[in-house]
């Protein structure tokens, strides 16, 4: 598949190779998101290794201006096994879609999706997931227009990405539980709990033992000892990974809008005496941990609050003012537990994307199951 190339005038679409690593890192690092708080993803030192968490198959595509030999646009396609309608299926993921302003009003987007479609035909998945920040109005307007041969972007509701300061503990402690660091002997029970709870949800990543013990791949950077389990009567009833990706994927602040800068100054003074997170300074790397593959038996709020009580207690001693991040769909019953705790809520829309011939695959998705997004893999 690496020999895929599409030449259009002075532009060339191609699948990126390891030789493009430094060029891609520079492009993404200086490319901010939209909105009042503009952030960018730094994937040094190796973009391709950082992509491993997004899928079992990862295909980064870039568009080069042949006159300057510089990237003017790029995007990534990934594929992995997830739970869909109670069963394992290959699901795709679209990420890192970026275009320089000077080419955004050209036919580049349509041409890019033509190139994407040629790749899609060689993959197993029929649907893709992607998220777009709600205040990125232009991207939503363009991508959901269904014009110029674009695939269909089906709106699947709001996703709340919560940034919380690990500080004063207000979660509820319940007696009769044990809080433990996961061990090798726990792996079968961990996988069984994830699988059983995934039956109530859509899009949960399917993990196996190799994922949990490998130093690379879907859980790159997550050691088994980074997983915390809550047990009742020696049975795991809740678990979460405390995932530090700072060695290969870091979010940093590019800049704030002038109006937000004033709000940030006031907010950060209040954050010093409250449980709310502070906003980082411009150019600052955000110090955070993902709460990953959070799994709670029967979505039990008491189990979740107890697990969070112990996580907050443990990490507040290790790294005061550390940020914890998690993304939850608006229909997720666990969201209500997190919304009791002060946080900064970054809202986005979840889309299920398909080409016309795969519309039935979208129609068959059971809407009553809870959409579940792993922000650490996006």
* pLDDT greater than 90 at residue 78: yes
16 plus 100 within the same structural domain:
yes
pLDDT at residue 105 above 80?
no
CA 180 – CA 227 distance, rounded (Å): 9
Model confidence pLDDT, tens digit, residues 271-308: 888 888 988 898 888 889 999 999 999 999 999 999 99
Same domain for 78 and 225, yes or no, is: no
- Of 136, 155, 174, at which residue does a domain stop? 155
Domain count, the chain: 2
Burial state string for 348-372 with b = 16 or more CB within 10 A and e = fewer than 16: bbbbbbbbeebeebeeebeeebbbb
Shared domain for 22 and 40, answered yes or no, is yes
CATH number at residue 196: 3.40.630.30
Residue 63 pLDDT > 90: yes
Q: How far apart are CA 187 and CA 189, in angstroms?
A: 5
Domain finish residue from 96, 124, 155 = 155
- pLDDT tens per residue across span 4-57: 787 877 889 999 999 999 999 999 887 877 777 888 889 999 999 999 999 999
Tens-digit pLDDT profile for residues 333-349: 999 999 999 999 999 99
Q: Let me know whether 93 and 126 are in one domain.
A: yes
- The answer on 179 and 150 residing in a single domain is no
**Res 302: pLDDT:** 96
Q: Are residues 145 and 112 in the same domain?
A: yes
Are 188 and 304 in the same domain?
yes
Residue 359 lies in a domain: no
Q: Would you say residue 103 has pLDDT above 90? A: no
Structural domain includes residue 47: yes
Within a domain: residue 279?
Answer: yes
Asked if residue 257 is part of any domain, the answer here is no
Residues 243, 300 within the same domain: yes
| Same-domain check for residues 185 and 95 | no
Q: Report in angstroms the alpha-carbon separations of 144 from 78, 118, 278.
A: 20, 20, 34
Position 104 in a domain: yes
Same domain, 212 and 328: yes
User: Is the residue at 256 inside a domain?
Assistant: no
Q: What percent of the chain has pLDDT over 70?
A: 98
Q: Is 210 found in the same domain as 315? A: yes
Classify residue 320: in a domain, yes or no.
yes
**Mean pLDDT, the chain, integer:** 92
Claim to verify: residue 333 and residue 190 sit in the same structural domain: yes
The confidence score (pLDDT) of residue 3 equals: 62
Separation of first and last alpha carbons in the chain? 23
Instruction: Tell me the residue range of the domain where 177 lies.
Output: 164-250+275-347
In a domain, 17, yes or no: yes
């Amino acid at each position: 598949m690496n020999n895929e190339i599409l030449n259009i005038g002075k532009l060339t679409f191609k699948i990126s190779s390891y030789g493009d690593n430094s060029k891609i890192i520079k492009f993404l690092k200086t490319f901010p998101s939209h909105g009042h708080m503009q952030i960018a993803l730094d994937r040094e030192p190796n973009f391709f290794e950082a992509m491993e968490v997004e899928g079992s198959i990862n295909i980064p595509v870039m568009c080069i201006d042949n006159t300057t030999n510089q990237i003017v646009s790029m995007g990534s396609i990934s594929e992995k096994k997830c739970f869909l309608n109670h069963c394992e299926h290959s699901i795709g993921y679209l990420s890192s879609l970026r275009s320089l302003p000077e080419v955004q009003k050209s036919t580049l987007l349509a041409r890019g999706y033509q190139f994407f479609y040629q790749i899609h035909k060689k993959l197993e998945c029929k649907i893709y997931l992607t998220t777009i920040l709600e205040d990125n109005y232009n991207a939503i307007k363009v991508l959901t227009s269904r014009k110029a041969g674009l695939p269909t972007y089906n709106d699947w509701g709001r996703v709340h990405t919560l940034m919380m300061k690990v500080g004063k503990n207000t979660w509820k402690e319940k007696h009769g539980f044990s809080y433990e660091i996961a061990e090798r002997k726990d792996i079968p029970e961990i996988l069984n709990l994830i699988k059983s709870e995934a039956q109530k949800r859509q899009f949960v990543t399917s993990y196996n033992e190799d994922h949990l013990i490998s130093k690379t791949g879907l859980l790159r950077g997550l050691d088994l000892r980074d997983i915390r389990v809550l047990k009742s009567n020696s049975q795991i009833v809740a678990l979460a990974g405390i995932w530090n990706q700072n060695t290969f994927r870091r979010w940093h602040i590019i800049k704030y809008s002038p109006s937000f800068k004033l709000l940030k100054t006031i907010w950060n003074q209040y954050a010093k005496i409250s449980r709310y997170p502070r906003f980082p300074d411009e150019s600052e790397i955000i110090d955070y941990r993902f709460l990953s593959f959070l799994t709670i038996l029967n979505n039990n709020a008491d189990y979740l609050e107890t697990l969070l009580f112990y996580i907050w207690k443990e990490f507040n001693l290790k790294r005061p003012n550390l940020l914890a991040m998690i993304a939850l769909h608006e229909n997720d019953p666990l969201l209500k537990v997190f919304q009791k705790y002060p946080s900064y809520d970054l809202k986005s829309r979840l889309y299920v994307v398909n080409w016309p011939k795969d519309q039935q695959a979208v129609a068959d998705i059971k809407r009553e199951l809870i959409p579940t997004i792993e922000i650490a893999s996006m």
